[in-house]
Chains A and B, each alone.
Chain A
Amino acid sequence: MAKTAIEFTVNGESHKLEVFPMARLLDVLREQLHLTGTKEGCGEGECGACTVKLDGRIVNSCLVPVAQVNGASITTIEGVAQGDELHAVQQAFIDHGGAQCGICTPGMILAAVDLLERNPEPTEADIRNGLAGNLCRCTGYMKIFESVVRACQK
């Protein structure tokens, strides 16, 4: 079947692409735009490794067909830092051991950034809920949790 033309913005940069409409946003980001910071874990919406922000809300990019992002604005992990200055959540993950193997980390950070944007002073329950859709197979949850708590204190 035919490819279709779409336009969308990724990390502030606009792109025009020819895509198969049912291609996963995850694959388009990684393979066509070479933004390989977004990881694939389960590929079925369970693990959150492929989390990106789509028009201001986090989504699993493995579950979004690219035809649905026409005209949209996307932020990936590559767009979280301001130039050389890391986001407070990124810095906290480094300072407090929030990353182990690193596969879940981009998704965890995007979920945490999203949480703090919506709710700058989250309770512990809010943090757990905000990260509930992100799995860490290294099981480094306590360090991840601590990193987010520390990021809130900045």
Chain B
Amino acid sequence: MRAYVPGYQLQTPASLADALTLIGNEPGVWKPFAGGTDLMVLLEGGRLAHRNYVNLWPLAELRGIDVTDSHVTLGALTTYTEVQTHEVLRSEFPMLCQAASETGGLAIQNRGTLGGNIVNASPAADSPPALLAYDAEIELVSNRGARWLPYHGFHLGYKQMDMRPDELLTRIRLPRTTAGMTHYYRKVGTRKAQAISKVCLAATGRVENGLMTDVRVALGSVAPIVLRCKQTEDAIRGQALNGDTVHQARETLLREITPIDDVRSTASYRLRVAANLLVDFLVTARS
């Protein structure tokens, strides 16, 4: 059943400072609302439980992509369309661009934001595996101050985050250390466009003197949170890419992830596909 629209509040602050004051004065009362591509789906289905939202969309402070020698920093309201069309992101962070291009269709990509994708905290989200594999950091701001933290560790459990009720996610920062890396991103869904993933894998690595370094493996839709697979990385790091390593990596991954049966897929399919994607990544890195 559809929601009763007059029962919802969507307050538009004049500035980021005003937004922080609003949510700071009544912590927990106001939740952030960005492009709406997730929240409006819940509204239409009568499943949007929270009633009071702060409209972040008009806040210029949360937009823009800034490039320095060491980092690319994206405003939380950067849309998937903006991600895909940015030259530095395309050349140095192709997995993020690919994730953006495989999220919904163009109309979704024009509204959906990177910050919203993180804070919505779906384990099936498309860009978080790429952000984890690129060692992203995120900035949380409240009237008490700002803090940067690694994105890895931000998701604590299903829809649970290391974020206080008076904080907003404002920026996402990527270290420019990807030169010479293999970038492997693959989302497996029911169809090519407009599908939510069954399994999604983002991985980076570098082969130096025949050995794998800078290995980072992240998966979506295989656990209550988007997962950085540290044990699997340990099984690969410093190893030659031979049959033994591939076997060990595969076995480790199968122990590390905990997919479930749900409307989109089954646990056994997800285990098999996740393992196959990992093997494909390693084969790609070798060649």
Partner of B6, one of A20, A43, A70: A20
Number of A interface residues in the complex (CB < 8 A): 32
B105: A residues at CB distance < 8 A: 48, 132-134
Contact for A22 among B8, B45, B104, B108, CB less than 8 A? B8
Q: Which residues of the other chain, A, contact B176 by a CB distance below 8 angstroms? A: none
Which of B34-42, B87-95, B122-130, B157-165 contacts the other chain? Answer: B34-42
Min Cβ gap A135→B in Å is 8
A residues less than 8 Å from B11 (CB atoms): 21
- Judge whether B55 is part of the interface by a CB distance below 8 angstroms: yes
List residues 19-39 of chain A with CB under 8 A from any CB of chain B.
Answer: 20-24
Which residues of chain B (2-24) have a CB below 8 Å from chain A?
5-12
Does residue B107 face the partner (Cβ distance < 8 Å to A)?
A: yes
Interface flags for B29-70 (1: CB within 8 Å of A; 0: not) read 000010111001101110000000101011000000000000
B211 at the binding interface (Cβ < 8 Å): no
Name the segment of A52-60, A77-85, A139-147 touching the other chain.
Answer: A52-60
Residue of B with least CB distance to A61 = B107
Which of B36, B53, B194 is A63 in contact with, Cβ under 8 Å? B36
Query: What range describes how many residues of B lie at the interface?
Result: 20 to 34
Query: Which chain A residue has the least Cβ–Cβ distance from B195?
Result: A46
Choose from A1, A129, A134 the contact partner of B9 (Cβ within 8 Å): A1
Is B6 touching A48 in the complex (CB atoms < 8 A)?
no
Q: Does A14 sit at the interface, judged by CB under 8 A?
A: no
Contact between A46 and B194, CB atoms less than 8 A apart: yes
* Cβ-defined contact, B104 with A111, below 8 A: no
In this assembly, does B106 line the interface, its C-beta being within 8 Å of a C-beta of chain A?
yes
Shortest Cβ distance from A56 into chain B, in angstroms?
A: 9
Across-interface contacts of A68 in B (CB, < 8 A): 36, 55, 57-58
Q: Which B residues are closer than 8 A to A by beta carbons?
A: 5-12, 33, 35-37, 40-41, 43-45, 53, 55, 57-58, 81, 104-108, 110-111, 192-194
A-B contact pairs, 10 of them (CB 8 A): A1-B8, A21-B9, A44-B44, A45-B41, A59-B110, A59-B111, A63-B36, A64-B36, A114-B106, A133-B108
